[in-house]
A and B are shown apart, each in its own frame.
Chain A
Amino acid sequence: MGSEEIRLIVDGKRLDGRGFEDLRPIKMKVGVLKRADGSCYLEMGKNKVVAAVYGPREVHPRHLADPIKAVIRYRYNMAPFSVEERKRPGPDRRSVEISKVSREAIEAIVMKELFPRSGIDIFVEVLQADAGSRTACLNAASVALVDAGVPMKGMISSVAVAKVDDVLVLDPMKEEDNYGQADIPFAFFIRNDRIESIALLQMDGRVSRDEFVQALEMAKRGAMRIYEMQKEAIKTKYITESEEEVNEVE
């Protein structure tokens, strides 16, 4: 990997012209699926994901139900057309792992005890993947959960930090993820504009202790910006609905 002469940082900027702490362009649309209780379409750079939340609802198969709290199921899945080389449909080991850690992040904030013997299903489909799809999916899932009216302690915002050419960069894209030295996805539980705790943390590669601390701070700043966008997207949905009603009445 190191013997290839790919320069990922050129003249102090990344290959797509971004600064080290710039996020990729993000777009969010809430309530895109009529049948789901809550949903969100999200674009993060070239990633395009859709999250759907169903629940609380009855758990099928029944024996998986927990008598004292709701069971949360999270399914991360990449569509066969989401990557250049067709991905065979169905869960693979990577999807299963991502589903597990994402579910654990969500379980930290959802008030499961309020709905014993029921289930909350979260499905996130990656329609187009470009590094950081798991972070995009968690952001979308968090918004979809809010849209569904599920009681939660706060929200989850997720972003990754990578180390490329010995420099830490926020929200890596495909080339930086593939040829970088480390990739560290983060997710934070955010409440009332404050980061309360880390909900997800994974790492692939090597960084020094100081670099890790630096990466954490960088991720926190990035996550706060994403949190603002999530709030904005949700509030926009309801404000536009109200404005439409004003026009109808007048």
Chain B
Amino acid sequence: MIKALASKALYSISILWGVITLCFILFYVFPDAEDMMVGQRADLQTKQAIKEELGLDKPVFIRYLNYLKQLSPIGIFSKPDIPKNWYEISLSENNSIVFKNPELGRSYQNRRSVVNILMEALIGTLILAGVAMTFAFIIGILFGIIAALNYQNLIDSLLLFLSTLFISVPSFFSSIIIAWLFGFIWYQYTGLPLTGSLFSIDMESGKQVLTLSNLILPAIALAVRPVAVITQLMRTSVLANLESDYIRTAKAKGLPPYLIILKHTLKNALNPVITAASGWFASMMAGAFFVEYIFNWKGLGKVLIESVQMSDLPVVSGGVIYIAIIFIIVNTLVDLSYKYLDPKLR
């Protein structure tokens, strides 16, 4: 097991190194990055000063080494360059080996730490995706049960039609429609804002306040497709369970229908739905990109789309590395769990 873990770790690190190198080639060898940080009237001296500040005046190989050094959690640095919050072990009079958080550089647009920008945004995305997924489960399960209990009648057909419609609608389109209808046209009835993030500023106190009303529309927009999938899965699963012997026994015992559904059918029908729908979480994260942008929800997707628009290369490459790390971790865990569960693969 330890050998398997070690080889997997080595393999993952080599993939990550490949991604990092590719990011460097794609984004950092981009010429004239300093042009993005100046106004229309900038002169050569100004551009040169910015280049020096960003280290863009150095040869590509040196820049690559600096980039790796910045990303690595362990490195050798000269003592005057070591900030106070890094842990260091002295090697010589001038150098130390340091342990630090990996750094992704600073944004070209606002000069903030890319790690801080991405971490702030990631929290927003996780909350939005989490709430949307829960919402999708509740509505999808409910619709699935109703459709199954009304098998082949009008309600079943209507729910099937709606779920087929919802599954066909891309999330950016459903977002625009939902925002327009509930946040603009019917605003006076819904009171739901067209755009906004999890927190807003209270003008009287100047403090940050939790604004949950901003979460409702983007969560619904993001949940539209999973609702459709879960409805159909649940319907099929409930129908299959309703044919089972134990349900027939429950009916023969004279249990009321609601108890049969809640206590027996639901419990067994949920298992395949949960397994299948878990896979939707990853695709929901992708859908969140557009939803966040349209509802101005501060999340990873919004940050990355805006960074691409503004060619904020450190943020874009940081985002790519973040996503790569998430995929590497998930894939590694899946591979290891397969080996653990399936003796043939050991």
A binds B: no
Residues of A that sit less than 8 Å from B by CB: none
Binding site for A on B (CB under 8 A): none
